[in-house]
Structure 1
Amino acid sequence: MESAARCFLEKLVEEFPAALEEGGVLPVSPLSRKVSIEELHGESLELGLRLLSARGSPACLSALLCQEAVSQLLQKDLSPFQIPQEAEGNQEEEQTEVLLQSEAVQLLFLNQLIGVAHAWHQNLPKLPPSPSCITHCSVHAIKNTRRKMEDKHVALAEFNHLFGIQDGADRAYYAVFDGHGGVEAAAYAATHLHVALGKLEILQSDTATALKSAFIRTDDMFRRKAKRERLRSGSTGVVVLIQGQELAVAWLGDSQAILVRKGQVVTLMDPHKPEREDEKQRIEDLGGCLTFMGCWRVNGTYAVSRAIGDFDQKPYVSGDADCSTTPLWGDEDYVLLACDGFFDTVKHSEVPQLVLDALQHAGDSEGGGDASLEQAEGAVGSRVAQHLVSHAKAAGSSDNITVMLVFLRPLEQLLVQQSTTGTV
């Protein structure tokens, strides 16, 4: 880790030998033109991680660099970047929210990041060990036949490093967000939900409450952005947090996560669909109704009953997430997260065999045998999600499809288990 960090920092300071100058083009584009104080943390982290990842930074180093740069940024006087309130319009609610000029304040952040990189290049601090709970993550996403890609996903095995959490419990965060009516809600959740979660002290004692609170906080934040920018999009979402010997799943809507243990599917959640009896009752108790228009829709509009956004149909489309927790015994194979574009055409029970087929085919293409698989684990694993996405498309899915597999033990062990027991 230390040698890789030193090598990367050497290249980074060569590319950025001095601070970026005002008026120049930023090396990476900010997500927004205007950003609130509360949004600054998430948007800066996203910007920094994107810049570093594009240059091949080790993931652990990226998280540590961004965490330090954001911490320094948030201690700065940001008043010079405030947008005058009169320039934002005359609505009273908008008058109370301080907005910053995003490109200008992100120039400051990038210069903080460059400064940290230079300091660490000269005197690298002792780096914490990389998280040990995850062996590999395989992700693939396609637009499919839809006009736009409205899915977003997040993989943060370095969750603790990104937020400076040092309580001794390994944490890894994974999420899939399935947008509708535009990508804005999904992109917002992918940028801010893990930040809202990382700020909560209760995370260290009550994971379920923390996850539910993070969903609510993200929905509230997006409500303000949607109002000032006249956005109408929404997003379902599923989040997996692996924390020590526990796996927590929180979700809104019909994106799903399943666990596979010794080749057998373990159900983690029950997706929110309008026709689900308790969801139907909740909507009707609020004075809403369900209408069948090719599928069940809330008040004849959205085909989801819970989501971030969709504010024209709140509270019928609820922003309250559900959460479940499952102990990890050490014999788990992987957890799979995917949007409804996958699960609409693939049954839970089909997943273990599909993953096994993908591993075997990928291993054969790498030369065959456990040794070659171990040597090429990254290349092999990356193809597994691609195989599952292709299967869902061939089975008839026309929607955006995102599949993420988080392997909980080395890939070659899964094939060894198959050869000895006949299961994945």
Structure 2
Amino acid sequence: MASAALQPSSQTAEETPGFVDAFLHEFPAPLSPESPLPWRVPGTVFSQEEVEGELADLVMGFLGSRSAPPPLAACLAHEAVSQLLQTDLSELRKLPEQEDEDEEEEKAPVTLLDAAGLARSLFTWLWEACSRWQKQVPMAARAPQRQWLVSVHAIRNARRRMEDRHVCLPAFNLLFGLSANAARHPELPSNPAGALRAAFGRTDEMFLRKAKREQLQSGTTGVCALITGKTLHVAWLGDSQVVLVQQGQVVKLMEPHRPERQDEKDRIEALGGFVSHMDCWRVNGTLAVSRAIGDIFQKPYVSGEADVASRELVGTEDYLLLACDGFFDVVPHQDVAGLVQGHLLRQQGSAEHVAEELVAEARERGSHDNITVMVVFLRDPQVLLEGGAQGVGLSEPETSSPPRS
């Protein structure tokens, strides 16, 4: 789940060099070969095509956990990752596992790199950047940013594992790498919705190759929101959802991909699959979603093609709410505005912990799944409180995207 920036940030220009000083005080020298890494590396190897996004995600998470100002974090991530990618990485190469000789398709050779070695080198480049910037922080990292207030909360709940992940990029234009498949798409400036759709497809292709290489059978749903200028673009696969609240009215932006949708059922059956009811509607008696990244053994019935929609913003929009099925399975769309407004009333206009309260509400209503909620305020919550909810209900989507084929 992703977002960008609009309202003035509370962070001042003085915080930028202050963060650099604090970082160098905590890490006065680069890590020695024996020193533990300050972050957890996701996996043992990365393929060449995964490196940029994985490392940018790693360093952004690290800087965010230390409350780095978003512009500085984005610029530092850009600097550290780009410098690392310009070095010779051959010493970090690892041989892929031997492929089965009876594979029908001839595969291109895969370059795998040691993840821990990459992470250690990345920290060195991050330290080098901070050392240089202690004397003079680049203007881009110090420039005032317009930023939305974002409230995020996620819990494992009753599940054995936490499988949700969320991303918020308030300084997207300063960062490359994270969400690399969208950021690198040539049509992003001219056709953002198309670029998002292509990025989901590219991510699915990469995940499927990783699944074959590492014998994975997993998959994921996803939803993304991107604002360019005055236009909101959303893209999604599966049953993670985003809704817009405008003047207290919940605006439905999308239809989740579930097997019981008639168009999805028709598509699955046309491919030779089936949809059956086993406590809920499922594809081929297994998955409860009809589109997803991964799930290699259910392709093509479970499609990896995202849907997209676009909507012009007029300035009266209150906030976006992005959440997984662990929330929306128990909280109807029409309840969202009342729950948020109630929180603002109790907290006298403070919205910092609204996502935490929404997660607690979903749990109280019986959700046992992982729950992730992100609320992106497009207007000052205090203004919303003073104006009150002008209407609580549900309206159908009014998007500029063409119908899905």
Equivalent pair of 2:323/2:371 in contact (CA under 8 Å): yes
Alpha-carbon offset, residue 414 of structure 1? 0.1
TM-superposition CA deviations, 1:17-39 (whole Å, max 9, x none)? 22222243212121121111111
Equivalent pair of 1:332/1:409 in contact (CA under 8 Å): yes
Tell whether 2:169 aligns with 1:156.
yes
Tell whether 2:149 aligns with 1:126.
no
Alpha-carbon offset, residue 94 of structure 1? 7.2
- Residue equivalent to 2:98: 89
Give the structure with the higher percent helix: 1
Tell whether 2:397 aligns with 1:388.
no
Aligned residues: 377
Alpha-carbon offset, residue 394 of structure 1? 1.9
Alpha-carbon offset, residue 282 of structure 1? 0.2
**Secondary structure in 1 aligned to 2:290?**
coil
Show the 5 A alignment for 1:137-152.
Answer: 137-152=150-165
TM-score by length of 1: 0.85
Q: Which has the higher contact order (CA 8 A, sep 6+)?
A: 2
Tell whether 2:59 aligns with 1:65.
no
Which of 53, 58, 77 aligns to 1:47? It is: 58
Show the 5 A alignment for 1:294-313.
Answer: 294-313=279-298
The alignment yields a C-alpha RMSD, in angstroms, of 1.9
Unmatched segments (≥5 aa) in structure 2:
1-11, 394-405
In structure 2, C-alpha distance between the alignment counterparts of 1:260 and 1:95, rounded to whole Å:
47
Which of 408, 411, 414 aligns to 2:381? It is: 411
Unmatched segments (≥5 aa) in structure 1:
165-191, 364-372, 374-379
Alpha-carbon offset, residue 80 of structure 1? 1.3
TM-superposition CA deviations, 1:182-237 (whole Å, max 9, x none)? xxxxxxxxxx6x12111112100001110011001111111121112111111111
Alpha-carbon offset, residue 392 of structure 1? 1.8
- Residue equivalent to 1:335: 320
Alpha-carbon offset, residue 138 of structure 1? 0.8
Equivalent pair of 2:326/2:369 in contact (CA under 8 Å): yes
Alpha-carbon offset, residue 383 of structure 1? 1.8
**Secondary structure in 2 aligned to 1:138?**
strand
TM-score by length of 2: 0.89
TM-superposition CA deviations, 1:386-412 (whole Å, max 9, x none)? 222222222222222111110001110
Equivalent pair of 2:345/2:385 in contact (CA under 8 Å): yes
Quick one: percent identity of the two aligned structures? Answer: 48
Which of 252, 272, 296 aligns to 1:267? It is: 252
**Secondary structure in 1 aligned to 2:388?**
helix
- Residue equivalent to 2:335: 350
- Residue equivalent to 2:28: 17
Equivalent pair of 1:263/1:333 in contact (CA under 8 Å): yes
> Comparing 401-410 with 314-323, which one deviates more in the overlay?
401-410
Equivalent pair of 2:248/2:391 in contact (CA under 8 Å): no
Equivalent pair of 1:417/1:423 in contact (CA under 8 Å): no
Runs of at least 4 residues off by over 3 Å: 90-95, 128-131, 421-424
**Secondary structure in 1 aligned to 2:384?**
helix
Equivalent pair of 2:334/2:392 in contact (CA under 8 Å): no
Alpha-carbon offset, residue 15 of structure 1? 2.1
Letter in 2 for 1:286: L
In structure 2, C-alpha distance between the alignment counterparts of 1:126 and 1:399, rounded to whole Å:
44
